[in-house]
């Protein structure tokens, strides 16, 4: 494959993955995650049952109410995910042959392919384990990680390098870690349907103190809607994970803002992009609380998180250590021409 076509394919994979992340959030937030109770098909078919006799047979076989609208949302998500699988396979094979031209380490070339397999398993477990919050959150994090990996590949192969000093690169890694932790917390809020558990802003239910039940909400063995003891989740538990998500937003804001300010003079365009992504994401988070989580804004909030992740990935994927040329090296080159 030509190098120019490979670049186009890499960027197409990035855009495709971004769209898939948005589509996945739409499916989850519209309560269509179990629109198809089996995997990888839908009620034993590759499409959603539509005819009356098909719906009746599916309802009798699976013992559930068939909702074709929700089923189509889930199946379209699976079709788009299947397209990404094919794209990643082709991209991995082509990149392996040209990894030196793209300055790509071998682990980065194969990481998306390995992640595709894990994402397929998580997608299956999301259905078979009935939207278990820990599994749904892991699936969301896997999609965001896929976006970061493919973005790193595309960025390293197309855009110019950024020469960033060691301190700023370290700060960028800290900001990226903060965003990844925040994605986990956001996934727990979304998968537990706790988006409206904290009424009011900036206080949560009239208080800045953490509500009861925070540690229980972080248990990975909980089923949806239940505590670790199998009891129905009280509102305080849902508010607790939402409160922690807000605290995480504060950490992300401070670290990303500090990074943007440190990059301002040397890389102003990059700093402006970071600031814009951060402001949009914070604004969307506040708007979702004040406007009672309208579906379009909730989906955009997931997209904003993905874009902020992309911006931080761009800094790290393109950055190189600041080059230092010693006086001796310059003099040697002037006299020897080497």
pLDDT one-digit tens code per residue, 285-314 = 999 999 999 999 999 999 999 999 999 999
Yes or no: say if 211 and 239 are a contact pair by the CB < 8 Å rule: yes
206-221: per-residue pLDDT in tens?
Answer: 999 999 999 999 999 9
pLDDT of residue 321: 62
Alpha carbon 319 to chain centroid, angstroms: 22
Give me the residue spans of the domains in the chain.
1-159, 161-338
- Among residues 74, 115, 126, 213, which one is catalytic? 74
Burial of 185 (0-12, 13-18, 19+ CB in 10 A): buried
What pLDDT is attached to residue 337? 46
This prediction has a pTM of 0.91
Active site residue 74: yes
Q: What is the pLDDT of residues 129-178, one digit of tens each?
A: 999 999 999 999 999 999 999 999 999 888 888 888 999 999 999 999 99
How many Å apart are CA 249 and CA 288, to the nearest integer?
A: 14
The CA-CA-CA angle for residues 246, 250, 251, to 5°, reads 115
Distances in Å between the Cα of 118 and the Cα atoms of 23, 113, 124, 212 are 19, 9, 10, 34
Two tokens, residue 190: 């979304």
When the pLDDT of each residue in the chain is averaged and rounded to a whole number, the result is 91
Residues of the chain with pLDDT under 70: 1, 321-338
Percent of the chain clearing pLDDT 70 (strictly above)? 94
Residue 281: predicted pLDDT: 97
């Amino acid at each position: 494959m030509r190098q120019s076509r490979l670049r186009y394919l890499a960027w197409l994979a990035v855009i495709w993955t971004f769209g898939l992340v948005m589509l996945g959030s739409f499916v989850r937030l519209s309560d269509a995650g179990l629109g198809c109770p089996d995997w990888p098909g839908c009620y034993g078919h590759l499409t959603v049952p539509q005819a009356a006799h098909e719906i009746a047979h599916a309802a009798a076989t699976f013992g559930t109410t068939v909702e074709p609208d929700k089923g189509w949302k889930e199946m379209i998500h699976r079709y788009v995910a299947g397209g990404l699988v094919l794209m990643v396979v082709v991209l991995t094979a082509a990149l392996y042959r040209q990894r030196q031209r793209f300055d790509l380490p071998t682990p980065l070339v194969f990481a998306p392919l390995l992640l595709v397999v894990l994402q397929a398993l998580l997608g299956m477990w999301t259905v078979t384990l009935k939207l278990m919050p820990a599994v749904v959150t892991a699936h969301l994090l896997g999609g965001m990680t896929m976006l970061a990996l493919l973005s790193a590949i595309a960025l390293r192969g197309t855009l110019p390098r950024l020469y960033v000093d060691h301190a700023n690169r370290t700060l960028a890694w800290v900001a990226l870690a903060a965003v990844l932790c925040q994605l986990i917390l956001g996934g727990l809020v979304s998968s537990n349907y706790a988006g409206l558990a904290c009424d009011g802003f900036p206080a949560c239910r009239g208080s800045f103190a953490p509500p009861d039940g925070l540690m229980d909400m972080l248990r990975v063995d909980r089923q949806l809607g239940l505590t670790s003891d199998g009891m129905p989740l009280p509102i305080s538990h849902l508010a607790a994970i939402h409160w922690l998500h807000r605290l995480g937003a504060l950490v992300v804001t401070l670290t990303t803002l500090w990074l943007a300010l440190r990059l301002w003079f040397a890389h102003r365009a990059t700093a402006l992009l970071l600031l814009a992504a951060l402001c949009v994401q914070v604004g969307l988070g506040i708007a979702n609380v004040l406007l009672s989580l309208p579906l379009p804004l909730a989906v955009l909030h997931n997209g904003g998180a993905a874009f902020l992740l992309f911006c931080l990935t761009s800094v790290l994927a393109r950055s190189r250590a600041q080059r230092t040329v010693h006086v001796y090296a310059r003099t040697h080159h002037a006299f020897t021409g080497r």
